[in-house]
Chains A and B, each alone.
Chain A
Amino acid sequence: MIRHFLQRLLYTVPALWLILTMVFLMIHIVPGDPVLQMLGEDARAEDLAQLRHTLGLDQPLGVQYVRYLEGLARGDWGQSMRYSAPVRPIVLARFPATLELSLAALAVCIAIAVPAGVFSARRRGSRADRATSFFTLLGLSVPNFALGPILILVFSIEIGWLPVSGRGGISHLVLPAATLGAALAAILTRMVRGSMIEELSSDYVRTARAKGITETSVLFRHAFPNALIPVITIVGLQFGSLLAGTIVTETIFSWPGIGRLAVQAISARDYPLLQGCILIIAVSYVVVNLLTDLVYAIVDPRVRLQ
């Protein structure tokens, strides 16, 4: 088990290195002069030179890269232009809000996908199953930036049940979590259905039924735990899309997390801050994938034994 974990940890090194390098290179793909973009066309020459020096852009690329990695190792993520402050504390202060939203969205997904998927698999080919399939496709096709305003329109403006935006209690969390989780709920429902159909047609389920075990018990005690294994992988893989989806969802609902910070950084051309936001989302994604693999090994003893 420990060996499996260490091995898996080693695999994340190239992915992490690639993230760091890409984030480092991003500022160099800005067309024209990034410093000019940040300060505007009418900036004074000495201000441009000053900023170029602060960002280290006047150094050779190799030197910049080494300095950048050194800085990261020391916990220095650069300076934000917009806030005139170090990037790291700004980004980290927003992290809990994003985490809260993502976890809530994940909870919404699981609450919808597990019952819908199991039901659909049990009644395979029925009208209800086909309706579920259609709704999952619909869920995949509605982008979160269309769903969000529609939900606000219905639940906040027309019915007036839930607040339009901001972060607060549970009531503030409902609409953003539903918006963010809808697409993943659709994917997960399809996944649970497919996986359950496979398990329900296997020998051990036939044996369990032959022994006269109740259908609920066959479904949830025998088939479901096995069906869960591929589902966990998808949850892990898709959690990254969820994190990326927070950029749009947080913008719609004025949710004070990393996603909204990233959009603000984009419009202010605050490149160091944007790099910090991308870095933390990408690194969280790698960490979530690592954790998924661990859960996988705990749930499925076969993985551990390999």
Chain B
Amino acid sequence: MDRNSRKAQSQANDAMKQLSPIRQFLRTSGLGRWGFTVTVALILLALLAPWIAPANPSAQSLQDRLLSPSAHHWMGTDELGRDVLSRTLFGARVSLLVGVSVVLGAGIVGLALGSVSGYFGGAFDRFINIVLINSFLSFPGILLAIAFAAFLGPGLDKVILALIITGWAGYARLARAQVMKVREMEFILAARSLGASHARILLRHLLPNTLQPVLIQATIGMAGAILAESTLSFLGLGVVAPTPSWGAMLNDARNHLFDAPHLVVFPALGIMAAVLAFNLLGDALRDWLDPRTRAFLTTMDLQR
């Protein structure tokens, strides 16, 4: 590399440093940009649904049932004559609400248990790690979620609870590993020799150092939670009718594959867009924040 190009390179680096982190991130990855755009669009559509939806998502009109997409009903109507566009828009609210609640709930429980267990070690750590984390991670998460949801009964709160119960262990393992790595570092020793309490060390010194991988996991966890919610709703274990959920809409659509195939298309596209967007965003975030981990490692956890 000659001097000029090196200079250009360092200027480019300086320029990158001046950008806000979000713009910096968006510059580095094309697919991440897609993921980010679709995610923002979904959040906006979900928030604005009551104002932009052309009709009440639960309003039935039996003479308009199973209409194909038209100028009046852009995505057609379902078996009760409800407007599919409005239901799809409101469905985004359910998906995102479940996604955010599950990721926050599972993330907080996992972070707390994982970091406390990794920090103190000993018998408590062995119990948390071997008995709880390992066992929970050793079953397919969706099977556990279906089982819990089936016994807890339908309802949005039950779905969120079932997904938190089955989802916290992944975060706990991540936080525990990160804390065990960081707690041996010198700045922790320094903090302790200055008389910092355990709580202060955990919250002020260790927590910020565990957040980065957890953030990546949480983004991909959003995709997993949205997928899981629609699976449960598809099986009739999720939201209670008439609340629109993409999974429940797909379940209704199955009875009309022959006479109204459009009913399958739109909720399916909604789920795909949301899951793909969060996956792309998570993949790009990981490449950006932590280039060393290999691409398949985190995406694998999506299926749990």
Contact = CB atoms under 8 A, between A and B. Distances in A.
Contacts of B152: 29-31
Interface string B145-171: 011101111000000000000000000
A185 interface: no
A18 B135 contact: yes
B138 A289 contact: yes
A43 interface: no
B206 interface: no
Contacts of B100: none
B162 to A, nearest CB: 10
B151 A190 contact: no
Interface in A240-264: 240-241, 243-245, 247-248, 251-252, 262-263
Contact of B139 (A145, A190, A240, A271): A240
Given A146-B271, A243-B140, A137 B276 contact: yes
B143 A145 contact: no
A238 B301 CA distance: 10
A140 B139 contact: no
A271 B303 contact: no
Contacts of A30: 151-153
B279 A141 contact: yes
Contacts of A111: none
Contacts of B134: 15
Given A140-B275, A145-B250, A14 B131 contact: yes
Of A143, A238, A248, the most chain B CB neighbours within 10 A belong to A143
B261 interface: yes
Q: Is the interface of B mostly helix, strand, loop or mixed?
A: helix
A145 B296 contact: no
A245 B152 CA distance: 20
Of B144, B151, B223, B230, the most chain A CB neighbours within 10 A belong to B151
Contacts of A183: 303
Nearest to B224: A140
Given A145-B231, A271-B151, A278 B131 contact: no
Nearest to B237: A266
A288 B216 CA distance: 30
B264 A141 contact: no
Contact of A138 (B264, B265, B276, B294): B276
A191 B140 contact: no
B261 A153 contact: yes
Contacts of A286: 138
Interface string A261-286: 01100110001001000100110011
A14 B135 contact: yes
A85 B97 CA distance: 42
Contacts of A27: 151
Interface in A38-80: none
Nearest 9 A-B pairs (CB), nearest first?
A: A146-B268, A244-B143, A141-B276, A240-B140, A141-B275, A244-B140, A190-B296, A18-B135, A145-B234
Given A137-B299, A251-B235, 14 more contacts: A14-B131, A30-B152, A138-B272, A143-B227, A145-B251, A146-B264, A149-B257, A153-B257, A157-B258, A234-B300, A244-B140, A244-B142, A248-B235, A278-B147
15 contacts: A18-B131, A18-B135, A29-B152, A140-B279, A142-B268, A142-B271, A143-B227, A143-B234, A143-B275, A145-B234, A149-B254, A149-B264, A240-B139, A274-B147, A285-B140
Interface of B: 31, 130-131, 134-135, 138-140, 142-144, 146-148, 150-153, 223, 227, 230-231, 234-237, 247, 250-251, 253-254, 257-258, 261, 264-265, 267-268, 271-272, 275-276, 279-280, 283, 294-296, 299-300, 302-304
